[in-house]
Amino acid sequence: MYVQRRFPLKGVLIWTKREIIFFTVFVTLITVLYELLDIKWLQIPLAPVGLIGTAVAFMVGFQNNAAYDRIWEARKIWGGIVNTSRSLIITVRDSFYMHRSEATKEETEVLKIIANRHIAWLTALRYAMRKKQLWETSYEVGKKGKASNFEYNIPEYMTTLEEELEPYLSKEEFEYVMSKDNKPNALISLQSKHFRELTNEKKLWDFSLLNLQQMLQELTALQGKSERIKNFPYPKQYGSIGYHFVHIFMWLLPLAIIPFFASSGVKIAEENSIIGEYFVWFNIPFTVIVIWVFNTMLRIGLAGENPFEGSPNDVPISNISRGITRDILQIIDEDPANIPEPFENKNHVQM
């Protein structure tokens, strides 16, 4: 999925509003204890906290870079699936009537079978990528694709794989695919077997078979790369350490900033007694902003660790797959009435 907003900062504020409220209450409470209840020992030097903040910034930056690399690699993989899918169907179509102006009715039916089987492969792959893993806990999404009060659609959670695959496969192929653990791999195997049979029947050239097999190998490689990202989590020693370091920094920061504002208020009181007397309370917005920045950086990294999880920040594999499906059906001149519509995007979220 991918969020497109006209006002990105507003979206981030909505995304982190619970944390902002908690930080505000927390910093206000510490300020009340320090200033009104006169608990002056509730403080620590600013310099050590600053050093901790520097270390935390490096750690969070490393985590965000690693998470972005996973997202970007996933997007390149599915970009490769788009290009290879189009090339596969175009090559099959043109290989049938290389020496004729148009294909025969039988060849048109065979082309349709191959195209539908490839659409089934795309469908099975996107469902495999949406399967929930144990470490994917950032977003708990229900059947209607809701996370908290932010609504968006995840097609793979609204219909079953069986319902999506059945229209594109024969009864025998459907039963064969559903009996296998790795359904996308089973569909690639059926496709390869079919190409071999067409070559044996002299409906495809041996050179065409070689070219098509290379494309199937490319699709298999892209599927494997996608599965590698899905099935291997971001190393938790990095994610956990970054999470704990950020929270240690957030808990310590008010204890260092509040005394600094209090001492500054004493100096300001020499020029303006009113502002100087209440200057310590100005630490609240400044402290909350600093904590919010670090927390938001942390959340961005956590949200990008699993690019197929189904969050609003993930790779929009559902839309990509549906786009390829429409392209393939238009390539084989399918009746427009039989071409599925693009998925509906809610709240500007591509799925």
Confidence (pTM): 0.81
Q: What is the pLDDT of residue 142?
A: 44
Q: What is the pLDDT of residue 62?
A: 86
Return d(Cα 131, Cα 112) in angstroms, integer.
29
Compute the C-alpha angle 156/161/167, nearest 5°: 120
Q: Which amino acid, residue 85?
A: S
What total number of domains does the chain contain?
Answer: 1
pLDDT digits (tens, 9 = 90+) for 170-210: 999 999 999 999 999 999 999 999 999 998 988 888 888 89
Q: What band does 3 get if pLDDT is binned at 50, 70 and 90?
A: very low
Task: List Cβ neighbours of 167 (8 Å cut-off, separation of 6 or more).
Answer: 116
Domain that holds residue 265: 2-350
Residue 5 pLDDT exceeds 50: no
Q: What is the pLDDT of residue 182?
A: 94
- Which range is most confident: 12-16, 77-81, 199-203? 77-81
Residues belonging to the chain? 351
Name the more confident of 274 and 124: 124
Task: List Cβ neighbours of 28 (8 Å cut-off, separation of 6 or more).
Answer: 284
Return d(Cα 293, Cα 57) in angstroms, integer.
10
**pLDDT mean over 234-240:** 74
pLDDT digits (tens, 9 = 90+) for 123-162: 999 999 988 877 776 444 444 444 445 566 788 888 899 9
Return d(Cα 285, Cα 84) in angstroms, integer.
52
pLDDT digits (tens, 9 = 90+) for 308-326: 887 777 888 999 999 999 9
Q: What is the pLDDT of residue 219?
A: 96
Q: Phi and psi at residue 150, in whole multiples of 5°?
A: -105, 115
Rg (CA), the chain: 28
